């Protein structure tokens, strides 16, 4: 599943659902591609890590833990 990433490489509402679905399906290669050059806020990252954990996707959890976290003030 492809997603459009803005020029700022930030996770937005339109990108969140396809990423979450790929995590739930265990599509590690798709998740890796979607996360490339992406940054997200800590609450988003924590939620997606929890989704991966619930679906027993340890390789995806590792990918998510490597995503850079941006501050709350960075929109």
Q: What is the pLDDT of residue 11?
A: 72
| Burial class for 19, CB neighbours closer than 10 Å (0-12, 13-18, 19+) | buried
pLDDT at 34 (0 to 100): 92
Task: Select the more confidently predicted residue: 15 or 60.
Answer: 60
**Is the model's pLDDT at 71 over the cut of 90?**
no
pLDDT at 74 over 60: no
Q: What's the whole-number mean pLDDT along residues 5-31?
A: 82
Give the span between the Cα atoms of 26 and 6, in whole angstroms. Answer: 24
pLDDT band at 28 (very low <50, low <70, confident <90, very high): very high
The answer to whether residue 16 scores a pLDDT higher than 70 is: yes
């Amino acid at each position: 599943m492809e997603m459009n990433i803005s020029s700022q490489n930030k996770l937005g509402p339109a990108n969140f659902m396809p990423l979450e679905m790929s995590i739930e399906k265990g599509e590690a290669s798709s998740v890796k591609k979607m996360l490339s050059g992406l940054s997200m806020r800590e609450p988003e990252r924590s939620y997606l890590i929890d989704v991966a954990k619930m679906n027993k996707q340890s390789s995806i959890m590792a990918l998510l833990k490597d995503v850079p976290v941006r501050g709350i003030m960075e929109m």
